[in-house]
Structure 1
Amino acid sequence: MKRLIDISQRLDNHVAGWPGDTPFSFSLAWNQAQSGSVNVGKIVMSIHTGTHIDAPFHFDDEGKRVIDLDLELYVGPARVIHIPATNSIGIDDVKNVNLEGVSRLLIRTGAWVNRQAFPQSIPFLEPELAVYLAQFGVRLIGLDLPSVDLLDSKELPAHHELTRLGIHILEGIVLEDVQPGDYELIALPLPLVEADGSPVRAVLREL
């Protein structure tokens, strides 16, 4: 059995959520003494906490919701690359990367150092990169960041351009201990019918 590498953020009261969004909390709705048999927990959280996928409905009222997404995009071969944190991630940063046959691309920037604190700024994905990646057949992009756009962006150009080109978005992955190379990605969203995104348990399997 090949080793699994967990690339998900831990969900506890220390996980950093978007400022002003619903913070994560876990509590027991019933404990064993109250129910007579079991502990029953409940969670409250934003869908965009920790490691998660964005559905197009997140930024487009007419976009697909989570239940409409193709699950096969979230399972399969993936390539991990390292692009040290800069102001942005563009074509020049990947032009020397062999993308032939790559349908899922995961990028480690190292820009989000303390996962218990929401970052003040992050490198954003330049919209032109989406066109470049689509030419190679990339269908999913994953980042070790809370967004593919600037944190204060209202236009969300990278979100829109990626979606226009059929590239799905995985955010908040943890790649600090992952070497560049090829893996199998498993990052399935929950079957949330009306949702604009979903938390995922993202893992890589060594090939």
Structure 2
Amino acid sequence: MKGEIEMKFFEKIKMYDLTQPLSHLTPAWPTYEPLQIKFFKRLAPNGANGQLITTSNHVGTHLDGSLHFCTHGRDIASIPLNELIGPAAVVDLSDIAEDYGIYTSKDIMERVEVKKGDILVIYTGYHRYSWDQPEADEVRYMIKHPGPTMEFAEWCKEMQFKWIIL
């Protein structure tokens, strides 16, 4: 019964897969350890293998919890799943996104209705510079991507966004 209720909930919502492909070729954040995969068991005829995977917290798609930025913050394991889902405002800024470009709260509000407490999803199109894309450019992807103004940060605090997703 409980599983049926949960499935009906998910049938009514639109979900976005924000993951980027992950491999030993995925670049880590500068000065962070890269993803390493070591195969310690291979049984090809049976389709089984064993791997030891080592990675740092800034490789591939990830969520930064408050512990990442302040000593007294919560770790990711302490965040209940219901805090990770909710109503979202998805805004496409790809037509104004440029290297080292900036965006403001006005750029968001002119394009999408945003409510206090929403999850804010900002699409810049800079995923096209990811390591696995035809236009791959690691420096553009990691360093030159557009970012917000200080005014935007203050506005986000006022709006009490649940999450900001880039």
Calculate the TM-score normalised by the size of structure 1: 0.58
More helix by share: 2
More strand by share: 1
Give 1:102 deviation, angstroms.
5.8
Give 1:74 deviation, angstroms.
1.3
Question: Which secondary structure does the structure 1 equivalent of 2:126 belong to?
Answer: coil
| CA separation of 1:81 and 1:115: change in aligned 2, threshold 3 A | same
For 2:80 and 2:157, the matched residues in 1 are separated by 17
Q: Deviations over 1:102-159 (max 9, x none)?
A: 611110112343211243422222233233234344211100xxxxxxxxxxxxxxxx
Give 1:41 deviation, angstroms.
1.4
In the alignment of these two chains, the number of paired residues is: 141
Q: Deviations over 1:47-86 (max 9, x none)?
A: 1111101011212122222223243221233221111314
- When the two chains are superposed, the root-mean-square deviation of aligned CA atoms in Å is 2.7
Structure 2: 5+ residue runs without aligned partners?
1-10, 132-137
| CA separation of 1:72 and 1:131: change in aligned 2, threshold 3 A | farther
Structure 1: 5+ residue runs without aligned partners?
144-207
> Is it true that 1:99 corresponds to 2:99 in the alignment?
no
For 1:100 and 1:4, the matched residues in 2 are separated by 18
For 1:56 and 1:127, the matched residues in 2 are separated by 19
Question: What are the within-5 Å matches in structure 2 for residues 132-147 of structure 1?
Answer: 132-143=155-166
Calculate the TM-score normalised by the size of structure 2: 0.70
Identify the range of structure 1 (110-119 vs 57-66) with the bigger mean alpha-carbon deviation. Answer: 110-119
Q: Which residue of 1 aligns with 2:36?
A: 25
Give 1:8 deviation, angstroms.
0.4
Identity of aligned residues (%): 26
Greater RCO structure (CA 8 Å; 6+ sep): 1
Indicate if the aligned counterparts of 1:73 and 1:140 stay in contact, CA closer than 8 A. Answer: no
Indicate if the aligned counterparts of 1:16 and 1:115 stay in contact, CA closer than 8 A. Answer: no
For 1:22 and 1:118, the matched residues in 2 are separated by 17
Q: Which structure's CA Rg is the greater one?
A: 2
Among 62, 73, 88, the residue aligned to 2:83: 73
> Is it true that 1:58 corresponds to 2:68 in the alignment?
yes
